């Protein structure tokens, strides 16, 4: 998707640096292309040289949109960037860990701030010019035409309480906490309440530990084996996986079959909206590029 490439955009290099392309006279430095290609290759598991063309085209797309933003006097307030940067920093336990993550990605905080500014700017332009409206029966028509996509294996709906084990720990403390919590559940305490209070899984704890329906091959083997051995309402013993120690509860089962339209409609509508939005965004950017003067600079031999 167009926006997927924007998060890795880097700040421009010096004015006298080798140039890969010019958009209406504005240079795109070769170093900028190389750096983005390296990040794309790392994310996609390929070679940087194979990603250079993709990186160059992404940077050209961004430049034509940025120039359109200037023409329309659309900007990104610094307070908005500060908020987004703060949100990213909050994902790390301390400032040192955040700086280490930047260094691991061969980036600086200034480059990240520039990324965030340009990404927000590009999104504003696209949102201003692209509006997606699906036909009322779009989800139903897609569902009818693609029944094979909605087949599913036998599944169980599971909740869990995770006691994570840090890499440097032996796990004895987490196992003890899990064992104590299981005893509380057996005495009648509410599973969901304890999950919200104690679980180390940020993705499920606020939902009372609920992971939704999962097939046997949708989770790690130890977890799946324990979950599929339970009946609805039953709770497992303490289960060890690579993530730590779990207490698992099955709340429902679903046999193999085809998901109903009612079950998938909301998610399907979201998918179709994203698909159509991406299509229209690409068309809008291609229109900007057709009106722009784009010069690809041949590399020196």
C-alpha 243, offset from chain centre: 20
Q: Using DSSP bridges, classify how beta strands 210-215 and 155-164 pair: parallel, antiparallel or unpaired.
A: antiparallel
Query: Residue 298 has what pLDDT?
Result: 67
Tell me what percent of the residues of the chain surpass a pLDDT of 90. Answer: 72
Full-model pTM: 0.65
Per-residue pLDDT at 62 exceeds 90: yes
3-state DSSP assignment of residue 285 = helix
Work out the average pLDDT over 223-238. 97
Query: Residue 163 has what pLDDT?
Result: 95
pLDDT band at 194 (very low <50, low <70, confident <90, very high): very high
Provide the sign of the torsion angle of the four alpha carbons 198, 202, 206, 210, taken in this order.
negative
Per-residue pLDDT at 3 exceeds 50: no
Work out the average pLDDT over 295-301. 72
What's the N-to-C CA distance of the chain in angstroms? Answer: 33
| Domains detected in the chain | 3-130 (1.10.4030.10), 154-255 (3.10.50.40)
- Phi and psi angles of residue 82, each rounded to the nearest 5 degrees, phi first: -60, -40
C-alpha 117, offset from chain centre: 19
- 240-260 pLDDT, tens digit per residue, is 999 999 999 999 999 999 989
pLDDT band at 16 (very low <50, low <70, confident <90, very high): low
pLDDT band at 46 (very low <50, low <70, confident <90, very high): confident
Q: Could you write out the three-class secondary structure of 184-195?
A: HHHCCCCHHHHH
The answer for residues whose C-beta is within 8 angstroms of residue 223's C-beta and 6 or more apart is 160, 239, 241, 246, 248
């Amino acid at each position: 998707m167009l926006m997927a490439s924007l998060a890795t955009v880097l700040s421009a290099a010096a004015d006298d640096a080798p140039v890969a392309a010019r958009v209406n006279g504005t240079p795109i430095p070769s170093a900028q292309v190389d750096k983005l290609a390296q990040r794309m290759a790392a994310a996609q598991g390929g070679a940087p040289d194979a990603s250079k063309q993709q990186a160059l085209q992404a940077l050209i797309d961004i430049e034509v949109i940025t120039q359109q933003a200037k023409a329309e006097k659309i900007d990104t307030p610094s307070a908005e960037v500060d908020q987004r940067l703060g949100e990213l920093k909050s994902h790390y336990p301390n400032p040192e860990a955040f700086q280490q993550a930047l260094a691991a990605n061969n980036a600086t905080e200034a480059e990240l701030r520039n990324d965030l500014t340009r990404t927000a700017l590009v999104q504003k332009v696209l949102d201003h010019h692209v509006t997606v409206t699906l036909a009322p029966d779009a989800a139903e028509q897609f569902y009818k035409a693609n029944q094979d996509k909605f087949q599913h294996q036998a599944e169980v709906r599971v909740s869990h309480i995770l006691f994570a084990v840090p890499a440097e720990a032996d796990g004895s403390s987490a196992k003890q906490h899990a064992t104590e919590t299981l005893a509380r559940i057996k005495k009648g305490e509410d599973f969901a309440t304890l999950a919200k209070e104690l679980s180390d899984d940020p993705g499920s704890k606020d939902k009372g530990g609920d992971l939704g329906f999962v097939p046997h091959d949708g989770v790690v083997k130890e977890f799946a084996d324990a979950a599929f051995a339970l009946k609805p309402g039953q709770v497992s013993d303490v289960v060890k996986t690579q993530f730590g120690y779990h207490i698992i509860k099955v709340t429902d089962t679903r046999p193999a079959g085809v998901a109903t339209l009612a079950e998938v409609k909301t998610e399907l509508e979201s998918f179709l909206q994203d698909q159509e939005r991406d299509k229209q965004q690409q068309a809008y950017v291609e229109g900007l590029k057709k009106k722009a003067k784009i010069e690809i600079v041949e590399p020196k031999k």
